[in-house]
Chain A
């Protein structure tokens, strides 16, 4: 069979009548009152505010929502006229996180996994595996280890695994949210090639509309309050619903972020906080990622750390933050900043870091240590042994500032992605550090959370806080950063540049 043969699979139809789903133990319905009909072969972009239940709908279509014990449903949802859970393999689902979708150790075996589960005969499996890998453009040997793939390659691998099952319904749940710009392009190109050759019905969720706009012929917007808000051809929906979509957190093309990149000039004459004479950085002792790094961290100024994957951006950020030991040279704090704690941040006590350097990790879940949002925010002030009244006052203030007050008693792990991100920033703000180090603060965030984070950081800068941020996000760097430090990657040693962000 040639890759063309995959096209012989005809598209599946989707029908929803008053469909809704409520997760077990929740009061509110995750999705409700959805009525729609998608014809075989249609290409749909599914939009809606976070919490509108887009993912839930997609999981239901893939038949992986679970049974009675997982939740309750009402209404009807049919794929090709039948319950989706009864016909596994009819729909293929690609998820957001590249790391949790790799199942087996070798590329070929991983692609074959779905076919095996469907009971496809052996010879046919390997034909399909080769076809699927060709379709997504992943040109590696079948026994290539999956652990050696980049994020974008892992997503294409997962896509190949889904395609090999020859689904009539192809479902993509934010497939590029966790990828760097290069990975986003790779995946988009692969999907475009697949759509050219396949007749499968296609549904993708994504809040960055521009990526998929030209590949779909229909946009459906789910209403957070239940039901469908808008449905039609992409241009019509994006024009008529543009404002509402933007307000709901969707990145509508041509509208930008709504924030002007105004803070271009670094404030003059601000104090230096950190210097890095001859700094070399390493994640583990053995492996030096970059050397001869000279950066200066200035009060009231935002420094963006950019560069390709693996160049050591996060490592540099964590080293500046006093969390990783320099592999060579030093990170030195000026005496006013150190305030009696010694010149090297890596030697500061954990408690001494709190009021000096706050770090926001890429994965907010790594930094949660308490059972409620309120307790989470009190951890820092309590470690500083502040009086109880002062802690309460400060925590209330942060809760309000980050719009988390209605969630004060919620468990941090149960928050949505945007809420988790805000809380992780809040835990740091609670102790008012003079320097804030952030690792990909806008990764995978919708426009609404993005705006909130940018506005908050802007305020902090005006108050004189210094920022160091690792970011792939071009909009973020253009809007927030005064200066950019680009790590070139392993190739050249000191081939790094520091300077003003170019217009």
Chain B
């Protein structure tokens, strides 16, 4: 398996610069964490659910990829419901558990907020190719090329680590040290993996250096990473959703700034 497997597709969303996707997701999240109220989250979520039709995902892969968010959101909600700040009418109390009018409202707001922030992030990133993201970060955001490309090349090693881990496991059984003492064995195996990964990393670094990586002089880019109308449009949509949700929330008087 490879974490670097290129994401492929033909819809417009696949061709949008990943930096724009990153920016849109961050913008939305940045605004939505400023307030704890269900109105803003609900408005944002409603807009997003409509926009997802253009996200380039089938219903099945949408459900599969976003499953963690669908699990995390209600879990956080239920926790808030049971243990959240009490206010207003008490519906049910048992030990530390205190379900009140306030905690119900907070629970709904929390659940919706996690969905509103989580779903677009996942959806936008499913269609991101790591190589394109690296190109964008280096050329558009101007992060140092050494750092970005080093990280990108390192990602490729993750698949090899999984194979190493399996081999280490079998080897330990073969060496007669796999009976009992699971925690200790896991630790020593993790350490062995660390040693192997450092060695793999340094080999990769040599291979990169042999191809002139880190050479003095200006680096050129084989793939141009551009930030044009399409990208601005995506960031604009993110901004519009954020502003709309804040606007509705303020207008209905439910805006609840976190720091007050």
Contact = CB atoms under 8 A, between A and B. Distances in A.
Nearest to A362: B167
Interface in B117-157: 129-131, 152-153, 156
Most buried by B among A100, A122, A321, A384: A100
Nearest to B192: A369
Contact of A351 (B179, B206, B219): B179
B50 interface: no
Contacts of A88: 212, 215
Given A119-B219, A120-B220, A147-B5, A350 B172 contact: yes
A437 B177 CA distance: 18
A161 B209 CA distance: 12
Interface string B23-48: 00000000000000000000000000
Contacts of A140: none
Interface stretch (A105-113, A204-212, A468-476, A495-503): A105-113
Interface stretch (A19-27, A90-98, A257-265, A292-300): A90-98
B63 interface: no
A415 interface: no
Interface stretch (A238-246, A352-360, A441-449, A452-460): A352-360
Given A147-B2, A162-B211, A119 B220 contact: yes
B167 A361 contact: yes
A392 interface: no
A100 B200 contact: yes
B210 A95 contact: yes
A249 interface: no
Interface string B1-19: 0101110000000000000
A119 B6 contact: no
B179 A100 contact: no
A89 B212 contact: yes
Contacts of A161: 211
B132 to A, nearest CB: 10
A120 B152 CA distance: 21
A103 B6 contact: no
Nearest to B218: A119
B4 A147 contact: yes
A103 B131 contact: no
Contacts of A115: 220, 222
B6 A367 contact: no
Contacts of B223: 109
Contacts of B221: 116, 122
Given A105-B130, A117-B212, A379 B175 contact: yes
B195 A413 contact: yes
Given A109-B223, A145-B5, A147-B4, A323 B173 contact: yes
A390 interface: no
B70 interface: no
Interface string B169-212: 01111111111000000001000100110011001101111111
B179 A103 contact: no
Contacts, number: 163
Interface residues of B, number: 51
A388 interface: no
Nearest to B131: A105
A118 interface: yes
Interface string A343-373: 0000001110110011101010111110000
A118 B192 CA distance: 36
Contact of A380 (B129, B176, B196): B176
A351 to B, nearest CB: 5
Contacts of A363: 167
A129 B153 CA distance: 19
Interface string A125-164: 1100100000000000001010100000000001001100
A118 to B, nearest CB: 5
Given A92-B210, A126-B222, A162-B211, A145 B6 contact: yes
Contact of A143 (B6, B160, B170): B6
A99 interface: yes
A89 B215 contact: yes
Most buried by B among A119, A349, A357: A119
Contact of B211 (A125, A165, A353): A165
B2 A64 contact: no
A321 B218 contact: no
A100 B2 contact: no
A89 B216 CA distance: 11
B213 interface: yes
Contact of A64 (B179, B206, B222): B206
A104 B5 CA distance: 10
A383 B177 CA distance: 7
Contacts of B179: 349-351
B253 interface: no
B178 A350 contact: yes
A350 B220 contact: no
A114 interface: yes
Nearest to B174: A359
A402 interface: no
24 contacts: A88-B215, A95-B203, A97-B203, A99-B160, A103-B156, A104-B131, A105-B131, A109-B222, A112-B222, A118-B217, A122-B224, A125-B220, A162-B210, A162-B211, A349-B179, A350-B175, A351-B179, A353-B174, A363-B167, A366-B164, A367-B171, A369-B172, A383-B176, A413-B195
Given A323-B170, A351-B176, A359-B174, 5 more contacts: A100-B207, A104-B153, A105-B6, A119-B220, A366-B168
The 3 closest A-B pairs by CB, nearest first: A350-B178, A114-B211, A117-B212
